[in-house]
Every structure is written in structure tokens, then in C-alpha cells.
Amino acid sequence: MAISTEKFEDIKSKIQQFIQEEMISDEGAFDINHKFADHLPFLEEKRNKVRKMGLFTPQIPKNHGGLGLSLHQLGQIYEILGQTFYGLYVFNCQAPDAGNMEILMEHGTDYQKETFLNPLVAGKIRSCFSMTEPDYAGSNPIMMGTTAVKDGSNYIINGHKWFTSSADGADFAIAMVITDPDNPNPYMRASQIIVPTDTKGFNFIRNISVMGDEGDGWNAHAEIKYENCIVPEKNILGPVGAGFKIAQDRLGPGRIHHCMRWIGECEKAFEMMCERAASRELSPGKPLALKQTVQNWIAESRAEINASRLMVLDAAKKIDNEGAYAAKVEISTIKFYVAQVLQNVLDRAIQVHGALGMTDDTPLASLYRHERSARIYDGADEVHKTRVAKEIMKKYLK
């Protein structure tokens, strides 16, 4: 049950103040390329302040130590946290940890919760999610080659994954593996299994360079090879064969989180664009803001950001009230729409900054590098558009 509006507004105000005073104003304390390992002391200091405020892991239900926010309320918090690169990490609600917490809360056994969930919620460890494979199209999640073969009370995992986000320094992975390749229902062939990263056969190959940025720690996407990696069967999440369903349950609310974070990034880029347009003069007394093209960019960006926010919060409210399945069209719609708005706003902001926008003297180039992937991960835009169109056309094609 969601907390009261009055209490939520107080929480929201405190988080906004903290982000402005403790994060945005201190962004000079870490370099623009977001190297994770170098800034752990700085980030842990901020995390401890959030813990003392009682605002750590705001996405978690009260019975697990969180704030008990509704998805509609949480979306507003994610927009605030998205205004600074490390905002979500400092509040311990960053992907993929937040999604893994949800999976463990919903499907984990008592052993799994005690061993993996509790320290994750406490921010003592990190995790990763291991699903995407280089040899199979990520847009078709039932196609994958990583297998887990039952051997007594264990599973032996073999396969090749990449874009296992945040694997560098993570304590465990939740891996999607094929456990029943001959099942006539292709959606029942895969399971999810917890793999401690110190398990023999869990082989960290590299952090993948993404648009020239390799990243490290939480801010990285790793290539992993599972080579005769032996994991006890007690590490299976939920029923055997339920991997696809668990993944879908995870992705619906997760797309709300992503989209609201993107809107926070849009607001940051929008403010920078407006400030630059007002201060940069093409000739004395004639700033960029007087140019009609720039005015169009500002107006279009404002309209698109506002529309995105309303769409995402509407989808969040529908999930709160009716469940993720009932909101599947809304979820797909916001995924492709907001991802494109993010690209639009970032591109305009860079254009207004001119050559400066291409450098790492502002956060814009880094945001552009990191977030071009928004139109690909959690379902490529084209997949979501097809899904929306098919659902709309059902009543017309009967």
C-alpha cells in the first residue's frame, strides 16, 4: 500500500534537496567519464548520509526495509535521481540491482533471501544480470545457447554471455539458462539461477568498450563465459522453466524506472541547453536564444519532456492498479517514445553547445554515449512498436 501523499511529498522534497546539495553541487568531485572504482569513498560517504536519513533503497517494500512507495510515486523519485549520474547508486536503487532485488523478493527462497537479497538491500554487495548473448538476437529472449544441465543436486552451466551489466565487482549473477531444451513450449525452456561470481567456471573475460568508454565496476558491461560452472540446485529462482516469465515480471516496472531516469537526464540537458542559449552570443547583445531554430528546439524539448512524464506516470498508475500485464501497451509505448525523446533532447543540447558539446568539459557527450543504448536494451524500439501496433489492431482485424 502506498504511503500518504503528504508523507510522500516530504520524502520527495528531502531527496530533491539532497541531490541538489550533495550530488549535483559536488559533481566536480568525480571525473566526467564516471570511473567507478576511483570514486567509491566519495560515493560511500553519500550512501551513508542517505542511510542516516532513512531513504536508502526507496523502491523496496517496508517489510524488507524500504519506503513502501507505489510505482507512481517511485517514478517521480527516479526522475530526481536521474539528474545526476550516480543518484540511483547512492540511493541503492540502480539497475540491475533493483531488478534483482525484486526477483529475489518475489521468487527467492528463505535461503536465497538470507544469502543474496538481504546484503543486496543493505548495499553491502552488488549483483549483475546475465541474459544477453553475442550469438543470439536479444530481441528474441527465448533464443539463447547457455545451458544448465542437471547433475545430481547441481547444475552445470556452459555458455557465452555479454552485456552482463555491472559484473565487474559483483558478488553474484542472476543468469538466464536453458534447462529444458526439448520442452514443446519455448517459453518454458529457460530458468533463472543465482551464480556467485567466485564460482569456478564463471569466467570474467572483459568489460566491453561502449562507444569508446570501457567503464568499470557498476558502470560497465561485461563479457562472461560459463565453462563447466557448477551451481547447487537450491540456487534456482522460482520453478524450473519459469525464467522467461520471471524476466517479463521484472521488465515491466523496470521500464518505468528507466524512463523516469531518462526524463531526469532530459531535464538536466534541457537546463544546460537553455543556459547556453542565453549566455552564448553570436554577436554583441545577440544570444543564441534569439534564433528561431534554437527557440523551436527549446519549445519542442519542453513539450516532449512534459508529454513523456505524463505518459510514464500514467503507465505506472495503471501497473499499480491493474498489474503489469494490463499495462503492456502503455509499457511498450513509453519505452520507445521516451528513449527517442532522450535522444532528441541530448542531440539538441549538444548542437546548442556547438564544439563544446562534443567535449567532456560538459556531461552531454558522456550522457549521449551512455544513453544511445536506451533504444536497444530492455527491448529494441522496433520490437515495442510492433507489439503496440499488434495490440491496437486486434479489434480491427477480428
Where exactly are the structural domains of the chain? 5-108, 127-237, 245-393
Provide the pLDDT for residue 80: 96
Provide the pLDDT for residue 200: 98
The per-residue pLDDT for range 274-331, each reduced to its tens digit, is 999 999 999 999 999 999 999 999 999 999 999 999 999 999 999 999 988 899 999 9
For domain 5-108, is the CATH number 1.10.540.10?
yes
Quick check: helix, strand or coil at residue 211? coil
Provide the pLDDT for residue 142: 83
Provide the pLDDT for residue 33: 58
Per-residue pLDDT tens digits of the chain, which is 398 residues long: 568 889 999 999 999 999 999 998 776 666 655 678 888 888 999 999 999 999 999 999 998 888 989 999 999 999 999 999 899 999 999 999 999 999 999 999 999 999 999 999 999 999 999 999 999 987 787 889 999 999 999 999 999 999 999 999 999 999 999 999 999 999 999 999 999 999 999 999 999 998 888 788 888 999 999 999 999 999 999 999 999 999 888 777 888 999 999 999 999 999 999 999 999 999 999 999 999 999 999 999 999 999 999 999 999 999 999 988 899 999 999 999 999 999 999 999 999 999 999 998 898 998 998 899 999 988 899 999 999 999 999 999 97
Architecture of domain 245-393: Up-down Bundle (1.20)
Quick check: helix, strand or coil at residue 41? helix
Provide the pLDDT for residue 30: 60
- Cβ neighbours for 60, distance < 8 A, ≥ 6 positions apart: 66, 67, 101, 105, 121
Phi and psi of 326, rounded to 5°? -65, -25
* Burial of 353: CB neighbours in 10 Å, binned 0-12, 13-18, 19+: buried
H-run or E-run covering 97: helix 97-107
- Paired residues of 127 in beta bridges: 172
Residue with cell 549520474: 85
- Tell me 51's DSSP state: H
pTM of the predicted structure, to 2 decimals: 0.91
Provide the pLDDT for residue 157: 98
The per-residue pLDDT for range 74-94, each reduced to its tens digit, is 999 999 999 998 999 999 999
* Burial of 153: CB neighbours in 10 Å, binned 0-12, 13-18, 19+: exposed
**How many Cα atoms within 13 Å fall on the side-chain side of residue 44?**
10
Distance from C-alpha of 61 to C-alpha of 69, rounded to nearest angstrom: 7
Q: Where are the alpha helices (DSSP H) in 199-327?
A: 243-279, 292-322
CA distances (Å), 273 to each of 106, 192, 356, in order?
A: 42, 43, 12
Question: Residue 3, Cβ neighbours under 10 Å: how many?
Answer: 15
Q: What CA dihedral angle connects 113, 58, 324 and 80, to 10 degrees?
A: -150
First to last CA, the chain: 39
- Tell me 188's DSSP state: G
CB environment 185-218: b (16+ within 10 A), e (fewer): eeebbbbbbbbebebeebeeeebbebeebebebb
Provide the pLDDT for residue 253: 81
For the segment(s) 127-237, the CATH number from 3.30.420.40, 3.40.50.970, 2.40.110.10, 3.90.650.10 is 2.40.110.10
Q: Which of 45, 53, 139, 61 is nearest to 98 (CA)?
A: 61
